[in-house]
């Protein structure tokens, strides 16, 4: 590392609090009652239950989601035997990855052991604490002895990541590389340089996937591993063939595959040129591979290559494996992680790269496109779909082999996992299920945009909506063909539509008293946002969605002019659904439309937000916010929120609502019980109504930036027909979510308008 990078790394780890991990309680501990439940006397009850039935430990403690990352510090990264204490930053880092990618809690354990046997005894004695053991940075061959002994003794998964994690990712990439090169794993001639944990275990997993051991040549620091050598341990002897080959160069002559898990610069261009046609080179030494990609590609134009580095395509990164292998194993309470589970993980990763890549992944890696091919063999570590593919595949394999002690419905498990790892998905799943029941026509004014096209294809394929794309048909069809989207999608070109004259007459009739002539109406309809709004008003579409490339006013202004507010609504308003990192969900209104609403308008906004909460499957508990608690700071602004609260209670007597109150009182039942026991608000508020656009907008952005909350919205409330405005540059998934919300809105409009649900008008 450069001196600047070294200083930055040290400063990162030294910043208060030192290190990278901490322990946080998962239950409230604010009152004497909480303490009595958390410790004595309440804690005695789960103790008795577990004594009677040890499996209840998974029900009453954190064991089922707790993994030990354990090392003796004998093989830390590329630094060698630095000892257990110096290994601690690495193990803390591993803990961060477990939590960040799979929501698994970790204790890092650095063990000062004088022998493998002592290490085994120490770790084995800790079995009651953990749901799984991840062995890390232990030198070979001791790592093989340790893992084997612990697997045999313990009834929880034991997994040496340097062996099996690397092997899973290597095999996933190699399956795809060989397919692209037109070769078979069964017949491929494979050379592996490096006879440590990663190399040997990768070869064994390849054999279980179909490779032939007789086609494998293992090379260690002394050359080819062959049958005449007398210095081989039992682990290397498996690959000791009768062969005249003695050097790496000789072994690579005619080889189809090279796997390097050794050290820098051990492969030269002559060796690469000597390989078979269309070779595969996985040079995985870090930080400098056995041969640099630019050197290898300079020697051969027909090769496919992977490294362990993130600055080259096809990074073999263990974070694609171990968090999700453990996630699946823990969730079915597997006794072990067997070969079938590792194979399932490798195949799931290999398959994932054949699917369309989310925009969030493209943006994270600064690329416009990723398509299965020579430079995209392995999923990216930040791909949010990886856990949703790997963990269920591992769980299924564990149940199939009989090592699972708990059976799960795989479809329900995959959905539960997605809800757990994807903020906001639980709420949106309610909306999407409603949309599925009766898909409606959603018109997109930005029909030529690639994100909109991808979203439209998903909406159609998944039966969420019937998308209508506005734009030039020739451009849209060409882009769809280029993107290989063959889903039937309706395209309307406003410039040549046979509905232009009808829409112009309707717009003129509506806006004539606002100074709009028939000629001006025709000109206005050239703008797709006006045309899309008119389609909804005329009943040719049920909902309108736009904003990917427009500013908010450019969408909402024509929508208000053409469609307007629903009957009885004094003000159209906006709402954001905020999902906190701990899964808590709150609705915030109004952060987008009304600058300083009156008390009556605040009441309208509150009631619309309550209705929206129920559409999300939430029972609203509403707080009208201010800088005062129930009149503690008399002021015209606090009085406004008190009056709005009274109006809401009068109009909806059964609604759980109170105000005016401060945000901390709204979100903390303990604070309310202490000073405001009279409050009619029960529990933690989940619908927050702000006194002004300024306050709401600041609050939701602070929640995003400082609190790490995910924001779904802005959701427009109170329109006569469904209109929703996208935030500029949103992801495809967010466009899909907003369209689903629009479909549910359209269903509600149809229900209000009577049998048949017509929205024509």
Tell me the catalytic residues: 39, 94
Short-list 235, 234, 185, CA closest to 212: 185
How many CA atoms are closer than 13 Å to the CA of 655, on its beta-carbon side?
Answer: 28
Q: Which two tokens stand for residue 438?
A: 């009766």
Q: How many CB atoms lie within 10 A of CB 12?
A: 9
Residue bearing tokens 């510090």: 73
Cβ contact 283:289 at 8 Å: yes
What is the β-pairing status of strands 585-589 and 573-579? antiparallel
- Residue 695 CA to its chain's centroid (Å): 30
Short-list 346, 331, 352, 349, CA closest to 399: 331
Short-list 734, 733, 420, 738, CA closest to 583: 420
Q: Which two tokens stand for residue 471?
A: 């734009």
Distances (CA, A) of 596 to 55, 562, 695, 697: 57, 24, 10, 12
3-class SS of residue 392: helix
Q: Which two tokens stand for residue 319?
A: 């974070």
- Residue 163 CA to its chain's centroid (Å): 26
- Look up residue 729 and give its DSSP letter: T
Q: CA triplet 729, 734, 737: central angle to 5 degrees?
A: 150
Question: How many Å apart are CA 450 and CA 369, to the nearest integer?
Answer: 11
Residue bearing tokens 């709009």: 516
3-class SS of residue 134: strand
Angle between helices 500-511 and 552-562 (to 10 degrees): 80
Residue bearing tokens 């600058």: 595
Environment class of 394 (CB within 10 Å of its CB; exposed 0-12, middle 13-18, buried 19+): buried
């Amino acid at each position: 590392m450069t001196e600047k990078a070294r200083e930055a790394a040290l400063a990162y780890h030294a910043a208060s609090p030192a290190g990278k991990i901490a322990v946080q309680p998962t239950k409230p501990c604010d009152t004497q009652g909480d303490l009595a439940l958390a410790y004595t006397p309440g804690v005695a009850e789960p103790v008795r239950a577990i004594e009677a039935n040890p499996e209840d430990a998974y029900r009453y403690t954190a064991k089922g989601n707790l993994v030990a990352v354990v090392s003796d510090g004998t093989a830390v990264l590329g630094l060698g035997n630095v000892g257990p204490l110096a290994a601690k930053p690495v193990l803390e880092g591993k803990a961060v990855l477990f939590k960040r990618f799979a929501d698994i809690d970790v204790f890092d354990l650095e063990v000062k052991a004088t022998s493998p046997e002592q290490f085994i005894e120490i770790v084995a004695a800790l079995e009651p604490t953990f749901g799984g053991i991840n062995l890390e940075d232990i030198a070979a061959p001791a790592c093989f002895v340790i893992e084997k002994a612990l697997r045999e003794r313990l009834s929880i998964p034991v997994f040496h990541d340097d062996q099996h994690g690397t092997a899973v990712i290597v095999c996933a990439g190699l399956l795809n590389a060989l397919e692209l090169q037109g070769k078979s794993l069964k017949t491929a001639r494979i050379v592996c340089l490096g006879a440590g944990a990663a190399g040997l275990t990768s070869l064994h997993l390849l054999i279980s996937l179909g490779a032939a051991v007789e086609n494998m040549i293992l090379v260690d620091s002394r050359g080819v591993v062959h049958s005449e050598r007398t210095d081989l341990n039992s682990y290397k002897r498996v690959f000791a063939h009768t062969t005249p080959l003695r050097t790496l160069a000789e072994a690579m002559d005619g080889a189809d595959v090279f796997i390097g898990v050794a050290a820098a610069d051990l492969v030269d261009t002559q060796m690469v040129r000597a390989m078979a046609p269309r070779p595969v080179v996985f040079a995985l030494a870090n930080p400098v591979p056995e041969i640099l990609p630019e050197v290898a590609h300079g020697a051969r134009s027909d090769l496919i290559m992977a490294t362990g580095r993130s600055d080259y395509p096809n990074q073999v990164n263990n974070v694609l494996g171990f968090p999700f292998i453990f996630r699946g194993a823990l969730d079915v309470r597997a006794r072990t992680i067997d070969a079938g589970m590792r194979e399932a993980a490798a195949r799931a990763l290999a398959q994932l790269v054949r699917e369309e890549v989310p925009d969030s992944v493209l943006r994270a890696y600064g690329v416009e496109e990723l398509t299965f091919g020579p430079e995209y063999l392995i999923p990216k570590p930040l791909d949010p779909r990886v856990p949703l593919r790997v963990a269920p595949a591992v769980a299924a394999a564990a149940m199939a082999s009989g090592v699972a002690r708990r059976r799960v419905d795989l479809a329900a498990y995959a959905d539960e996992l997605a809800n757990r790892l994807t903020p906001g998905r639980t709420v949106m799943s309610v909306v999407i299920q409603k949309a599925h029941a009766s898909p409606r026509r959603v018109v997109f004014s930005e029909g030529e945009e690639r994100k909109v096209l991808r979203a439209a294809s998903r909406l159609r394929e998944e039966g969420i909506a019937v998308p209508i794309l506005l734009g030039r048909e020739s451009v849209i069809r060409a882009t769809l063909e280029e993107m290989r989207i063959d889903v039937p999608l309706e395209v309307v070109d406003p410039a040549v539509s046979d509905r232009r004259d009808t829409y112009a007459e309707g717009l003129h009739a509506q806006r004539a008293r606002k100074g709009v002539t028939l000629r001006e109406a025709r000109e206005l309809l050239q703008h797709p946002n006006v045309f899309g709004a008119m389609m909804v008003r005329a009943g040719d579409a049920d909902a309108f969605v736009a904003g990917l490339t427009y500013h908010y006013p450019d969408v909402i202004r024509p929508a208000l002019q053409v469609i307007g507010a629903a009957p009885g609504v004094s003000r159209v308003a906006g709402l954001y659904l905020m999902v906190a990192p701990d899964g808590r969900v709150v609705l915030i209104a109004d952060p987008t439309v009304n600058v300083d609403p009156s008390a009556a308008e605040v009441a309208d906004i509150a009631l619309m937000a309550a209705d929206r909460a129920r559409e999300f499957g939430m029972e609203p508990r509403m707080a009208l916010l201010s800088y005062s608690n129930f009149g503690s700071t008399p002021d015209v602004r606090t009085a406004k929120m008190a009056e709005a609260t009274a109006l809401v209670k009068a109009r909806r007597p059964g609604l759980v609502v109170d105000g005016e109150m401060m945000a901390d009182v709204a979100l903390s039942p303990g604070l309310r019980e202490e000073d405001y026991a009279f409050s009619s608000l029960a529990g933690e508020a989940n619908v927050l109504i702000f006194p002004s656009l300024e306050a709401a907008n600041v609050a939701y952005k602070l929640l995003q930036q400082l609190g790490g909350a995910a924001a779904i919205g802005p959701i427009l409330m109170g329109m006569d027909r469904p209109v929703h405005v996208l935030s500029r540059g949103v992801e495809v998934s967010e466009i899909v979510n907003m369209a689903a919300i629009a479909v549910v809105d359209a269903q509600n409009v149809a229900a209000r308008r009577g049998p048949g649900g017509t929205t024509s008008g």
